[in-house]
């Protein structure tokens, strides 16, 4: 196949202005791998990225999409640990919303046969972020109480599952009864309404000692409420602002309760930082991927929660993510 179908961003604007086009195949450079994309994850950052407001700006025109699973079509001559035909998942700089994608070998991970590729597409960035934030950054310990916001969303549902896997007692927050039920099915022991006014009282009634770790991909009022839910010495992970409001941190509360607020940016580990550090971090990221895959293979963890859409219905898929309707990770089937 000399050309293939994919979504193209030709100018900075609204995500609905993306266009489905025939795209030309380009030659591989050293260290690269060409994939047949079978599934691609839809991320919340898409709207910022195509508006030119994200922390990184790809050169126009470009195809968005950073998290995929599929098979390897071709590897560059210097890539010796991967081979055509292998089932893999990958974290990309961009280019995932297309039938073919080119990716650096450092962020391509083999997928065991028993793991469906549709589920694997929710692992490289979504589960990677959660594993790294809880393990490397917050150092979550068995028996600790973990409060997870947006617990039926992509990161949040993974945080419920991985928090449980790490031995924590997980308390979820979500905005609807259906979302709270989804969080309970994934292993949360309690699911509370995502209401910043009600949450601190409800949480402290059930957990008087407070949360040890908070995983917050939502920000806004829920971040403020987290400061009140936090126990002495708690660690608060700020990983995203799906609510649209970036919270401010009152330092006096940190002092009184011995709290640590921890920022976490997974992009730093997969080559999206100011300096490209993907090679340096590749062994550590690979270990995290192996741990998550092993948990799915052994049944210690359910496969990631996903909602699937056919590629031609990409507008509905993106809209479900942006309008807060989606449960789990939204996946495009190519």
Q: Mask: binding to ligand NAP, 125-154, rule CB under 6 A, as x and -?
A: x---x--------------------x-xxx
List, in sequence order, every beta strand (DSSP E) within 217-314.
230-238, 260-263, 306-310
| CA neighbor of 181 nearest in space, from 168, 171, 191, 196 | 191
Alpha-carbon torsion 70, 71, 75, 80, what sign? positive
**Interface positions, 176-215, toward ligand NAP (CB under 6 A):** 179, 194
CA angle, 273 as apex, 272 and 275 as ends, to 5°?
115
Among 37, 40, 45, 293, binds ligand NAP (CB under 6 A): 45
- Which of 23, 20, 37 has its CA nearest to residue 72? 37
- Smallest distance from ligand NAP to CB 62, Å: 18
Q: How far is the CB of 141 from ligand NAP (least distance, A)?
A: 22
Using the minimum distance from each CB to ligand NAP, give the nearer residue, 73 or 155. Answer: 155
Q: Rule CB under 6 A: is residue 79 a binding residue for ligand NAP? A: no
CA distance 154 to 124: 12
Whichever of 76 and 165 has its CB closer to ligand NAP, that residue is: 165
Tell me whether residue 43 or residue 187 sits nearer to ligand NAP (CB atom). Answer: 43
- Which residue lies nearer to ligand NAP by CB, 22 or 315? 315
Residue 223 binds to ligand NAP (criterion: CB under 6 A): no
Neighbours of 205 (CB within 10 A): 8
Among the listed residues 122, 155, 165, 182, the single contact to ligand NAP using CB under 6 A = 155
Q: Is the distance from CB of 153 to CB of 183 less than 8 angstroms?
A: no
CB 181 within 8 A of CB 170: no
Stretch that binds ligand NAP, among 11-19, 63-71, 90-98, 262-270 (CB under 6 A): 262-270
- Among 243, 270, 292, 314, contact with ligand NAP (rule: CB under 6 A): 243
Q: Given 3-state DSSP classes, what are the helix, strand and coil percentages for the chain, each rounded to the nearest 5?
A: 35, 25, 40
Region near ligand NAP per CB under 6 A, out of 75-83, 245-253, 274-282, 320-328: 320-328
Binder to ligand NAP among 326, 331, 332, 334 (CB under 6 A)? Answer: 326
240 touches ligand NAP by CB under 6 A: yes
Give the whole-angstrom CA distance, residue 241 versus residue 159.
16
| Residue closer to ligand NAP, measured from CB, 119 or 179 | 179
Output the smallest distance, CB 329 to ligand NAP, in A.
7
Burial class of residue 62 (count of CB atoms within 10 Å of its CB; 0-12, 13-18, 19+): middle
Angle, helix 199-206 to helix 220-229, in steps of 10 degrees: 30
Please name the helix (run of DSSP H) or strand (run of DSSP E) that holds residue 205, with its range, or none.
helix 199-206
Residue from 65, 156, 196, 304 binding ligand NAP (CB under 6 A): 156
Point out which residues bind ligand NAP (CB under 6 A).
Answer: 43-45, 125, 129, 150, 152-156, 174-175, 179, 194, 217-218, 239-244, 264-267, 321, 324, 326
């Amino acid at each position: 196949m000399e050309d293939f179908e994919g979504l193209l961003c030709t100018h900075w604007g609204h995500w609905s202005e993306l266009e489905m086009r025939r795209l030309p195949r380009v030659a591989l450079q050293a260290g690269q791998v060409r994939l047949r994309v079978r599934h691609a994850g839809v991320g919340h950052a898409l709207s910022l990225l195509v508006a030119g407001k994200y922390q990184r700006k790809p050169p126009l025109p470009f195809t968005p999409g950073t998290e995929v699973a599929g098979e390897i079509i071709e590897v560059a001559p210097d890539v010796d640990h991967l081979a055509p035909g292998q089932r893999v998942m990958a974290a990309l700089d961009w280019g995932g919303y297309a039938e073919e994608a080119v990716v650096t070998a450092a962020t391509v991970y083999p997928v065991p046969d028993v793991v469906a590729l549709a589920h694997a597409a929710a692992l490289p960035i979504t589960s990677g972020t959660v594993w790294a934030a809880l393990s490397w950054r917050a150092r979550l310990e068995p028996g600790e109480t973990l409060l997870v916001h947006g617990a039926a969303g992509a990161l949040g549902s993974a945080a419920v599952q991985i928090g449980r896997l790490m031995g924590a007692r997980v308390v979820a927050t979500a905005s609807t009864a259906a979302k709270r039920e989804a969080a309970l099915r994934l292993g949360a022991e309690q699911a509370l309404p995502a209401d910043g006014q009600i949450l601190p009282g409800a949480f402290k009634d059930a957990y008087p000692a407070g949360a040890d770790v908070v995983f917050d991909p939502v920000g806004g009022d829920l971040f403020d409420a987290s400061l009140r839910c936090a126990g002495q010495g708690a660690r608060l992970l700020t990983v995203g602002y799906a609510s649209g409001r970036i919270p401010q941190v009152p330092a006096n509360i940190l002092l009184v309760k011995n709290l640590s607020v921890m920022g976490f940016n997974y992009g730093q580990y997969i080559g999206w930082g100011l300096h490209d550090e993907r090679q340096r971090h590749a062994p550590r990221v690979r270990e995290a991927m192996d741990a998550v895959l092993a948990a799915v293979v052994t049944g210690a963890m359910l496969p990631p929660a996903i909602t699937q859409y056919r590629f031609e219905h990409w507008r509905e898929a993106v809209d479900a993510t942006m309008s807060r309707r989606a449960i789990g990770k939204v996946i495009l089937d190519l």
